[in-house]
Chains A and B, each alone.
Chain A
Amino acid sequence: MTDRLVLDGVGKTFVVDRAPVVAVEGVNLSVAENEFVSIVGSSGCGKSTLLNIVGGLEEATHGQVRIDGVPVTGPGRDRGFVFQGYSLFEWKTVAGNIRFALEKTRLSRAEKAERVAHFVNAVGLRGFENAHPGQLSGGMRQRVAIARALVYRPQILLMDEPFGALDAQTRGMMQELLLRVWEDHKVTVLFVTHDVDEAIFLADRVVVLASRPGRIKRDIPVPLSRPRPYDIVAEPDFVAIKRDILADIREETLKTMATPPLPG
């Protein structure tokens, strides 16, 4: 398989009160086409910063991000983004939100309508096309966000703790839904989370970030077969991987707790 996404010595240094703070340092990562990679780390480890850099929403101060060999210089339609908060356009309907993402494409009106209908269906929102986001539950809103990020068929899907605000039950359902959608519309995924179960359940590989500065601590393959049933989390293979990662994360969290939080 070819590498779709390459992070080459990516680093980011902020200046806080005239003192440099290294948020991310020397991250090297290669992600293959259609590979699903989770990034886990304790809060404040720079995982969101890393994702924003890949998304072109923040600039790296060191290194380079390349997509199919081309350096990233800003946001682009080769990447779709799903944010943690509800970043929907509240004044637009469900279909309107998804259609808005197609506006910069050259598709005909009919093709757009067809795409929108297809993705509304794929995330299980048929019948809610004309609802406004304010009328939807948290899980439904994130389904709209996923459809909006996939409808223009980006090569890479970036997800920043998309299910972080949902209750545990809804979150489980959303993970299964995401995998179903991903099986049907293969795309390279970079999924940031602090939930280890979620990271393993979804991904082909789990990258554990160390904190202060954020850098790759471990890169652990998840050789579990797909499709994965929801109760795979109780299988010995799953638990073994989880135990491994938990130990790493705990070590990092303890380190973070011993240092004062970053100002600002």
Chain B
Amino acid sequence: MTDTPRSKGGLGRYLRLRRDIPDWLFTTAGVIFPAVLILLWWLVTEFGLVRPLFLPGPGTVLAEGVRQAREGILWDDASVSLYRIMAGWLTATVVALPIGILMGNFRLIEGALEPLISTVRYMPVVALIPLSILWAGIGDGQKILILFLGTFFQQVLMVMDNVKTIDMNLIRAGQTLGFSNREILSRIILPAAAPGIWDTLRITIGWTWTYLVVAELVAANEGLGRRIMDAQRYLATETILFGTLFIGFLGLLTDYFFKRTGRALFAWSRQRG
């Protein structure tokens, strides 16, 4: 008997539970799968299996993008939307960080705020549009408010969790070394929770993006979300598709930025294990 391992040939080799695969394959798979989808899309539209009103071909959608870029609409829309996203997300973050950190450290504050936040968290943001108009008018403020509402309540609970899950022994170590509560908070708890909090920021800005169309539903003249809603009225399906894909693309870029920055900032936390 030889002791050669029973190696599965072909694809089976790459389909073992939890087993790592070569990097090139991982990346290739991520390129090929969307490529296949686009090919299918092209096939069904090119051979007239679907009416262009319901699904225009990839070429048409791309051409729409080129047109918007040429006419400058795309950049105007993107910059307006990007500004709203950043403003909504940043406001949420600036408020959620201190509150979440306090909730994670002090049971009293957690007890006082958690039930309320958990309730608001389940309220549909769309349902808050009328109120947001009443309170914030129909300018940019209202859009930013909607994005804030969609982001903040999830974010603050996640930050709380990030703080709560750090090892109690770190705090104890700080106490035995003679640090005050304030010092332990700023010099031990915060740095220890920082990688988790960064992840929360990355995840929540994704949610902010998903609320863009909702935010630009009312009284907006520009914006990526607005463009999509307008296109519905004129049955400009290629505009709808391009806008949706473009938002996804910008989201992907945002995510990439957060991942790279996080890796650089918290190199120490990835060395574990």
Q: In A144-175, which residues have CB < 8 Å from any B CB?
A: 148-149, 152
Residue B30 CB within 8 A of the other chain = no
Query: In the bound complex, do residue A83 and residue B173 qualify as a contact, i.e. CB atoms below 8 Å apart?
Result: yes
Residue B34 CB within 8 A of the other chain = no
A76, A80, A81, A152: which contacts B172 (Cβ < 8 A)? A81
Given the known inter-chain contacts A76-B178, A104-B178, A104-B179, please indicate yes or no for A90 contacting B269, CB distance below 8 A. Answer: yes
Q: In B144-182, which residues have CB < 8 Å from any A CB?
A: 167, 169-170, 172-173, 175-179
Q: Give the size category of A's interface with B.
A: 20 to 34
Given the known inter-chain contacts A91-B268, A91-B269, A134-B271, please indicate yes or no for A55 contacting B191, CB distance below 8 A. Answer: no
Q: When each residue 53-74 of chain A gets 1 if its CB lies under 8 Å from chain B and 0 otherwise, what string results?
A: 0011100000000000000001
Ranked nearest first, the 3 interchain pairs of A and B with the lowest CB-CB distance are A134-B271, A87-B169, A104-B178
Contacts of B177 in A (CB 8 A): 77, 100-101, 103-104, 148, 152
What distance in Å separates the Cβ of B67 from its nearest Cβ neighbour in chain A? 49
Query: In the bound complex, do residue A91 and residue B175 qualify as a contact, i.e. CB atoms below 8 Å apart?
Result: no
Contacts of B173 in A (CB 8 A): 81, 83, 87, 89, 148
Query: In the bound complex, do residue A134 and residue B269 qualify as a contact, i.e. CB atoms below 8 Å apart?
Result: yes
Residue B18 CB within 8 A of the other chain = no
Main secondary structure on B side of the interface with A: helix
Contacts of B6 in A (CB 8 A): none
Given the known inter-chain contacts A87-B169, A91-B192, please indicate yes or no for A75 contacting B271, CB distance below 8 A. Answer: no
Residues of A within 8 A of B (CB): 55-57, 74-77, 79-81, 83-85, 87, 89-91, 100-101, 103-104, 132-135, 148-149, 152
Closest-by-CB residue of A relative to B269 is A90
Q: Give the size category of B's interface with A.
A: 20 to 34
Q: How far is the CA of A54 from the CA of B73 in the complex (A)?
A: 70
Query: In the bound complex, do residue A55 and residue B269 qualify as a contact, i.e. CB atoms below 8 Å apart?
Result: no
Closest-by-CB residue of B relative to A152 is B177
- What are 24 inter-chain pairs, A to B, with CB distance below 8 A? A55-B176, A75-B172, A75-B178, A76-B178, A77-B177, A83-B169, A87-B170, A89-B170, A89-B188, A90-B192, A90-B268, A90-B269, A91-B191, A91-B194, A91-B266, A91-B268, A91-B269, A132-B267, A133-B268, A134-B268, A134-B269, A134-B271, A148-B177, A149-B176
